[in-house]
């Protein structure tokens, strides 16, 4: 092997190492760019979701503004937040939950029915007490039901439990008003189910869908 061949071999090793180094640097750069793009897309998705959430809350707040009776501006914002979060939790259409509230209390603060149901979603104290722990609500006697946000949390959970038990939205709504035991008794005796309350809720729901886009 002549002197030039030996020199070629001598030079080829550093060059090969250089190419390997360049390859790894390019690979690392590609991985970095791909990860950076992925993180950027995650941030964009997160920001877009936040924008959509804020838009929804603004629309819910507008509905509350139009129908509420007796709430301060700060309380209206809190109501919009809790309605939005409860609808996310149970996959309700916000307008459907608001329709139920309108039917129950006309969105008027401090309502009490002839049978002792209280607050925006007209919950009877024994029902509220039974739901409190499951909803993560600190039960402080009957006054808890006059806290609008807590009332909505309890009412949303109660409706959801009725949906799980009856596997039917319409029966769940009837049960919310009539009571689970009374509804099961009617079903067992093959009696026709009362539709007046259900029709009011669905009528309010259709009215809200026509007027608002959420």
Average pLDDT over residues 79-103: 97
Map tokens 């603004």 to a residue.
58
C-alpha gyration radius of the chain: 30
Rounded CA separation 54/52 (Å): 5
Total domain count for the chain?
Answer: 1
The residue ranking higher by pLDDT, 149 or 25, is: 149
In a domain, 154, yes or no: yes
**Tokens standing for residue 50:** 């936040």
Average pLDDT over residues 14-24: 71
Rounded CA separation 25/207 (Å): 62
Give the CA dihedral 67, 71, 72, 73, nearest 10 degrees. Answer: -30
The residue ranking higher by pLDDT, 110 or 11, is: 110
In a domain, 57, yes or no: yes
Collapsed DSSP state (helix, strand, coil) of residue 68: coil
Q: Find, among 141, 120, 134, 4, the residue nearest to 64 by Cα.
A: 120
pTM score above 0.85 = no
When the pLDDT of each residue in the chain is averaged and rounded to a whole number, the result is 89
In a domain, 110, yes or no: yes
Rounded CA separation 186/136 (Å): 32
Expressed as residue numbers, the domain containing 136 is 46-211
What's the N-to-C CA distance of the chain in angstroms? 83
- Least confident piece of the model among 34-48, 72-86, 110-124, 184-198: 34-48
Q: Check if the beta carbon of residue 160 is closer than 8 Å to that of residue 90.
A: yes
How remote is the C-alpha of 163 from its chain's centroid?
16
Give the model's pLDDT for residue 26.
74
Give the model's pLDDT for residue 192.
95
In a domain, 122, yes or no: yes
In a domain, 37, yes or no: no
pLDDT at 6 over 70: no
In a domain, 102, yes or no: yes
Rounded CA separation 87/158 (Å): 13
Q: CA-CA distances (angstroms) from residue 88 to 6, 40, 170? A: 74, 25, 20
Give the CATH number for residue 85: 1.10.530.10
47-73 pLDDT per residue, tens: 777 777 889 999 999 999 999 999 999
In a domain, 182, yes or no: yes
How remote is the C-alpha of 10 from its chain's centroid?
69
In a domain, 4, yes or no: no
Element at 175 (helix H, strand E): helix 169-178
């Amino acid at each position: 092997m002549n002197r030039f061949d030996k020199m070629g071999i001598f030079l080829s090793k550093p060059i090969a190492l250089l190419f390997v180094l360049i390859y790894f640097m390019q690979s690392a750069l590609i991985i970095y760019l791909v990860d950076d793009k992925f993180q950027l897309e995650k941030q964009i998705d997160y920001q877009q979701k936040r924008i959509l959430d804020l838009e929804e809350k603004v629309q819910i707040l507008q509905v509350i503004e139009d129908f509420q009776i007796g709430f301060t501006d700060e309380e209206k914002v809190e109501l919009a937040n809790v309605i939005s979060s409860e609808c996310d939790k149970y996959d309700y259409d916000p307008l459907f939950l608001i329709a139920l509230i309108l039917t129950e209390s006309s969105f008027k603060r401090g309502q009490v029915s002839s049978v002792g149901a209280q607050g925006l979603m007209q919950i009877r104290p024994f029902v509220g007490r039974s739901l409190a722990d499951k909803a993560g609500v600190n039960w402080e006697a009957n006054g808890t039901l006059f806290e609008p946000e807590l009332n909505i949390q309890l009412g949303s959970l109660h409706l959801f439990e009725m949906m799980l038990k009856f596997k039917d939205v319409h029966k769940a709504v009837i049960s919310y008003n009539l009571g689970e035991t009374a509804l099961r008794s009617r079903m067992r005796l093959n009696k026709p189910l009362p539709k007046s309350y259900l029709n009011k809720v669905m009528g309010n729901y259709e009215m809200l869908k026509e007027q608002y886009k959420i």
